[in-house]
Structure 1
Amino acid sequence: MAKLSVNINKIATLRNSRGGNVPNLLQVAADVQKFGAQGVTIHPRPDERHIRYQDARDLVPVVYTEYNIEGNPIRKFIDLVLETKPAQVTLVPDADDAITSNAGWDTVKHKSFLQEVTKEFKNNGIRTSIFVDADLKMVEGAIETGAERIELYTEGFARQYGLGNKDGIKPYVAAAELAQNLGLGINAGHDLSLDNIKFFKENIPGLFEVSIGHALIAESLYLGLENVVNMYLQKLK
């Protein structure tokens, strides 16, 4: 079974839009774990427009499953990760003003930088995952960084699946097979939903973990958070 890590950024967005502490981010993190999720993901950005850096600290005693912090490894982010020591850090090359992640790393061009960052995290006992497109060269480059895992950027798959093109899974299958052969663990995320997650999971060999936030929270508005978490868990079996 692939693990489900719930990204709670959208809860922070809703809270910040009104001020105060409603909805309570820490309570939601506790609840999704109680409902069965095997991890909690956050993606703080420099402007703290959703997850705040203090949220990352406050979540440390709350997350008893797998704590995954995503972000662009600027120095402020690196220091936050070293302070909070999550189980996993996922390196994402998003610009400061990006609405959401929109590309994977060029692991060839940025090899030296990623090696340096990954080594720092590894020395502190933090597993590192590199966010990559379903591109074989980028997967090959990821192993050279010293990272233990990759996270496949799945927007392209989700878009093609929504258009009825199931062949859109093929580059992801090839990337996952190569990653397995290289000894890389496989995570995935971005635009995965109840509509496409079962098909994706059934076709991706060695899938360890998916990180889902936007779709899961949107679906929960209609179906209920506890129900949606368990619907994902059923589809990931």
Structure 2
Amino acid sequence: MEYGLLAPGELVRVAYRLGHQAASGVLALSPRERPGDPRGERPRLGERPGRAESGSREPGGRAEIVVLRRGAAVCAAGDPAGRALMLRLARAAAEPAIAAAFDGGVTAYPPGALHQLPLATWARSHLEAQLDTARAEALVRELAGARLALRPELAPAPLDEADRRMLAALAAPRALDQIAPLARAPRFRLLALLHFLRGVGALAIEPGRAPAPPVDPLQPGADAERRRLLERRFAELTAAYETLV
């Protein structure tokens, strides 16, 4: 499958979906300076060797190879914890443009590959780590008034009981202020989850309706001074009525 040129952040979405689908095969990544950059060709998957390790490159340095086995990237022998692989993926995700192609028909992982990095887990940790206080407040403003719901076909596996509550609160379209009391989770953690879900396309967002313009029940055409006078007289009449009853 050819994904073409991906903008910054789009590779994380691709990686999450491959991980979520438990895909096996080879993902080839070729960074570009800009769309149409002539320095490299689109990855040609048919030329790669039968076995490889994630992080290797094709001859000539045209593409970096990420080997997938059931949704997890196979780590190189010298990188059992996957730290170098995570760093390479993060750098690739931040590229201004990167050509990506996935071949699910290639069995490239070595036998008994024990050290693997689940791509869905990496995508979540990568996106949630981006959130700081400023971005969290910006996210609240962006989602204000919108109704949010989880796309069930892209739902992540819950990490713990708090995750289950947050995901359950997103089962039906709700506003953020309705989700929070149902989720019963720290505010920042809930916002981190929403940032992740939105980043991988797992969050359906229904824009809120624009509020109706206020209606002045006194005299819509009156100027500000006239309205203040009418409001004061109305308040006096209301107070007088309340003393009678």
Name the TM-score, length of structure 1 as normaliser.
0.26
Q: Which has the higher helix share?
A: 1
Name the TM-score, length of structure 2 as normaliser.
0.26
Larger radius of gyration: 2
